[in-house]
Structure 1
Amino acid sequence: MTYGAAGEGVRVKAKRNTRLEALLVEFGYTHENLADAVNSAAAEMFGTHANCTDRHVRRWIAGDVQWPWPRHLVPLQNIFGRTAQEMGFTPRKTSRVPAHPTRTKPATGHRGLPRRDFITGGLAAALGLELIPAAGRLGSSDVERVRAIVANLYRYDHALGGGALHDVATEALRHVQSALNQCTFGDRVEKLMYAAMGDLAASAGWFAYDAGRQTAATHLYREALQAGALAGDSMLQARVWSNLAMQARLLHRDREALRMGCAAVETRQAKNDAWLMALLHCRQAVGHARAGDRVRAQRSLARAESAYERTQGRPAAWLSFLTPAELTGLAGAAHLALGQQRRAEQLTLSALQMLEPRFERNRVYYTVQYAQALIDGGEIEHAAVQAGTAVTLAERVRSGRVRGKLADLRRGLQQHTHVPVVVDFLEETGQTGA
């Protein structure tokens, strides 16, 4: 087998792909139209343009290309609702076969978001893992590929939740670990690769945490800490300590969470990175509030605001959620823990109003927080309405953490069954798992 300029497999004796040709006729696509459709689907699914042209389509039909790149193949599956083989493509021995498409009919008119299960299956094939060598020598370009994997994963995390991404991220991590064990590299690339691998491990740990898989999250965070130590990456270590603090807080180990958060704040990198420092102080504020320390909570909130005012440029991929809406929502969480429900209600509502549409999971999370503040303030009917909104929004998100918050909210509302709107909510959501 030889390889074409674009890197796709090319056979010497090409056999025309009549199956794909028939699909174009059946669904009314020209070569140009199909290329546009692939690019649109890729942009929606992966956040990047697939650079597909009518020339690619002609080569597929002519049989010059037996197995397209994943960035083209996965959108094709979603467009036609067929597996790669059903579209007439033939995998090589080393080809990564994407999951079976869930779409049974081609999209017509405006394309909405792809189905969640298809995204998580297709994303595994489109992360570019096959471009990271399993043997030979690793270079700086391979480091960038690992960094790109993390950025791609976080594009979906904000909308789908960690439950949709934990397995995919863990698979990617094991692939990178294998490359580090099997390949050769220089000292500079070694440190960079360990830092990138630690970034991926910490991300996988976050997805596991959000999915409710706390044992897996702890294991992955430890791997990230080890990689951070080998790379000499203090920012990565501060990030992991912060995430471990969040996990401890989720497991009701509040004092341990505060100590871990303090360890993260004291790292040199955290002190030099305003984005990270803003997040750390916000999380510490919530921790101090849960411990009943109003003075320290307010001091941490003030420090978070001051740090955020010093931020410049764009944050790292894992910090892309840190917007004014997020800081306001975390301030609301701190005030709610302090029993200041009116201020918590105001801040959380403001956070929801500022939150960008792409942060679907956080919208559910803060809608639940808003409903809880309303309950604490005695506005039970309004709280029940907001709880219903949260349940509806949560149908699009796979997050064990959010499901846990919804369950807590539901139990809180069960104390108010004398309110008709609450009874309606409990009856309507009785089978939803909320």
Structure 2
Amino acid sequence: MASSSQASRAVPNLAFRRLRGQRSPGEFAAAVRRAAREIGEQVSCDARYIGRVEAGEIRCPNYAYERVFLHMFPGLTLADLGFTPRERVRGRGAAPQAGPIHPCCPFDGSLHNSPSDSNRDSDEESDVLRRAFMTSGPTTVAASLGFGLGSVPAPGGPPGEAAGRVGETEVNAVEEAVRRIRLLDDRHGADGLYQRAARPLRAAYALLDACTITRRSTAERLHAGAGELAISVGWLAHDSGRFDDARSHYAEALATARVAGDPALEAHAFCNTSFLARDAGRHREAVRTAQAGQRAARQIASPRLLSLLALREAGGWAGLGDRTSCEQSLARAHTYFERGASDADPEWMSFFGEPELEALRAQCWSALGDWSRAAGHARRAAGLQDRRFTRNLALYRAELAADLARAGAPEEAAAAGDRVLDLMDEVRSSRIQTILADTARTLLPHRRTPGVGTFLDRHVSAFRRA
């Protein structure tokens, strides 16, 4: 459905279509992901993305996709690939907004990426998608997607109120909101994002409840998108210490998965529920939900997904103090991980590489009280982590500091803690702050040790500013 003048002006990218050749959009998307891995990039390319490029909806790719495409077609320029110069895309008029909006952010402008982040992650989406989740509430979201103001009733509205129709534009907007939340969480952590992220979630479920969806494929995508959005918002609640809210969002995602018969979404919901249960001290639940996730994941040809779920199970066993079962789960996770990445790996698993594998191993050994072994894995996790993923880098360094402090290495722990504090202007995560506070308390008796006093003073100062 053409719900904006921008969409109606889209010019098909015939040059890009010729480069795809005889491959299907899905096969070409798989080739893009393989090329990305060859140069150390992470892109979530699928057949829909290729279709949108070929339809002219994406006039210029972001910088990550640009590097991948130029790697795939050496000697060609973006113009040769059929794209519009970036300066021309950036220069087009913006929609009226109530305040400053970062081009990558579906929320308000109170949390900005740095200028370098803006350049690296400049929005490649059409104006329709950029505006889709910038306003609050289902009615205004529906209006920005091209519905009339009364098309989508607010929750609790009159049952007879007219319903709109949901098509590609609305589903793309839901999926884009998920990507935006994940991007911002990777860069900045959950604190400050959670309340704003709840707005597009409410709007997505309002679309499900109030609108007519005529195509089965569209309905499946909207259910999957709404479920993934619930998990993403649940993770923001989880990481910022709102465990009850997180549990509710994960349960909502699980219910959506069951209604839609979507094993990939079900596995994801169980994976996060297991993680939450472990953090909340419900270790038996962590084991059982991880096992349920593995049953769902066996319908998907993704060894990496099974590896992550085995690690979640290992974390539950570690919390129960069952070293044997934990080691068995860790061994199973390692075996799955060594089978490598697959084209069937879910898009949300882009974070799960060797650094996260090492970090989850570290958490297991820490829960079992083997601090030195935990510190070894945490050190590898921090050393392997790409610096672009600031939140995870800060987390791994914080866990390393905690393990070193308990392993009887206060000077090294303070040095690791200092490196976390170096990142705290960029990252806001209650999880990381809690780990760092616990480490500071552990190091208090060692204040006279070189470096420890400096770290403790910096830590106090940082928390006062916060």
Task: Give the TM-score normalised by structure 1.
Answer: 0.72
Q: Is this contact kept in 2: 1:348–1:369, CA < 8 A? A: yes
Q: 1:147 to 1:370 in 2, by over 3 A?
A: same
1:216 and 2:245 correspond: yes
| In structure 1, distance between residues paired with 2:174 and 2:461 | 41
Q: What is the 5 A alignment of 1:72-111?
A: 74=101, 99=109, 111=115
Q: 1:180 to 1:388 in 2, by over 3 A?
A: same
Select 1:309's aligned residue among 309, 325, 338. 338
1:346 and 2:373 correspond: no
1:323 and 2:337 correspond: no
| In structure 1, distance between residues paired with 2:307 and 2:178 | 22
Q: Which moved more, 1:194-203 or 1:238-247?
A: 238-247
Q: 1:187 to 1:42 in 2, by over 3 A?
A: closer
Q: 1:40 to 1:388 in 2, by over 3 A?
A: farther
**1:427 alignment counterpart:** 457
**Aligned-residue offset at 1:312:** 1.0
**Aligned-residue offset at 1:427:** 2.1
| In structure 2, distance between residues paired with 1:265 and 1:3 | 43
Question: Quick one: which amino acid aligns to residue 282 of structure 1?
Answer: L
SS at structure 2 position matched to 1:358: coil
**2:227 alignment counterpart:** 198
Identical-residue share of aligned pairs (%): 29
Q: What is the 5 A alignment of 1:168-247?
A: 168-186=196-214, 188=216, 189-247=218-276
What are the superposed Cα offsets for residues 34-70 of structure 1, whole Å, 9 maximum, x if unpaired?
A: xxxxx999869xx9x997654985x85xxxxxx5488
**1:126 alignment counterpart:** 130
- Could you say what the CA RMSD is over the residues aligned between the two structures, in angstroms? 3.8
Question: Quick one: which amino acid aligns to residue 132 of structure 2?
Answer: G
Question: Quick one: which amino acid aligns to residue 266 of structure 1?
Answer: R
Q: Which has the larger radius of gyration?
A: 1
**2:116 alignment counterpart:** 112
Structure 2 residue runs of 5 or longer lacking an equivalent are: 10-58, 68-82, 134-143, 153-162
SS at structure 1 position matched to 2:462: coil
| In structure 2, distance between residues paired with 1:177 and 1:315 | 26
**2:415 alignment counterpart:** 385
| In structure 1, distance between residues paired with 2:90 and 2:438 | 52
Q: 1:268 to 1:366 in 2, by over 3 A?
A: closer
| In structure 1, distance between residues paired with 2:62 and 2:376 | 39
Q: Is this contact kept in 2: 1:221–1:244, CA < 8 A? A: yes
Q: 1:340 to 1:279 in 2, by over 3 A?
A: same
**1:142 alignment counterpart:** 170
**Aligned-residue offset at 1:397:** 0.8
Select 1:163's aligned residue among 191, 205, 208. 191
| In structure 2, distance between residues paired with 1:156 and 1:301 | 30
**Aligned-residue offset at 1:291:** 2.0
Number of aligned residue pairs = 363
**1:355 alignment counterpart:** 385
Select 1:253's aligned residue among 275, 282, 295. 282
Task: Give the TM-score normalised by structure 2.
Answer: 0.68
SS at structure 2 position matched to 1:147: helix
